[in-house]
Amino acid sequence: MTLALRAALGALLLLPLAPFLNQPVLAQGVGLQFNEMKQDPDQPVEITSNQLEVDQAKGTAVFTGDVVVIQGATRMSADRVEATYSAGTDGSESGISTIHATGNVLIASGDLGVKGAEAVYTMAQNQIVMTGSVVVTQGGSTITGQRLVVNVESGTGRMEGRVRTVIQSGTPQGSSSGRGNR
């Protein structure tokens, strides 16, 4: 596996998994704040799958069948992961342009989990888009929607599409919920 592919897969695993909720989120089109991630690009990335197909003419590497990608404490699983790389002007490999995970995509690290039907990491835009009944959970709190967009460079994210948020406040059982009568 090339260093560029290894770095790109590592980035896909780590970047959307920062603690994401800095304040209560209440409306559709929720703005999320992703904290800056510290990552070690030298940390090994282990990928297991039932099959790997590389097509140098198309510039793709496709992992299929029970794909599991692990780097450190972060784990991603999907039915299929395709990495597309672009060729340099001299015909040499210049790096990964996109990583596309499809089918039962799950990214987990500690108590944080993100799941959806599909995730696309576009390197040039520093952007990860996860779609298809997206669920983000951490510490008992949950945000659901149809589309999660994370700007890796700025550390911000946005959930769209009939967003539902459940925030666990840490209020002991039996205490007032803080809700007023309507």
Q: In this structure, is the dihedral angle defined by the CA atoms of residues 54, 59, 146 and 115, taken in order, positive or negative?
A: positive
> What pLDDT is recorded for position 26?
36
The model's pLDDT over 10-30, given as tens digits with 9 standing for 90+, comes to 544 544 433 333 333 333 444
60-71 and 51-55 strand pairing: antiparallel
Beta-carbon contacts of 106 under 8 Å, excluding residues fewer than 6 positions away, are 75, 76, 77, 78, 113, 114, 115
The model's pLDDT over 55-66, given as tens digits with 9 standing for 90+, comes to 988 999 999 999
What pLDDT band is residue 93 in, cutting at 50, 70 and 90? Answer: low
H or E element in which residue 128 lies: strand 127-138
Phi and psi angles of residue 129, each rounded to the nearest 5 degrees, phi first: -120, 120
Is the pLDDT score of 39 beyond 60? Answer: no
**Percent of the chain residues topping a pLDDT of 90:** 34
Tokens 């990608």, located at residue: 69
Domains of the chain: which residue ranges? 35-167
In the CATH hierarchy, which fold is given to the domain comprising 35-167? Answer: lipopolysaccharide transport protein A fold (2.60.450)
Integer angstrom CA distances of residue 145 from 43, 112, 162: 32, 16, 6
Which one-letter DSSP state was computed for residue 147?
A: E
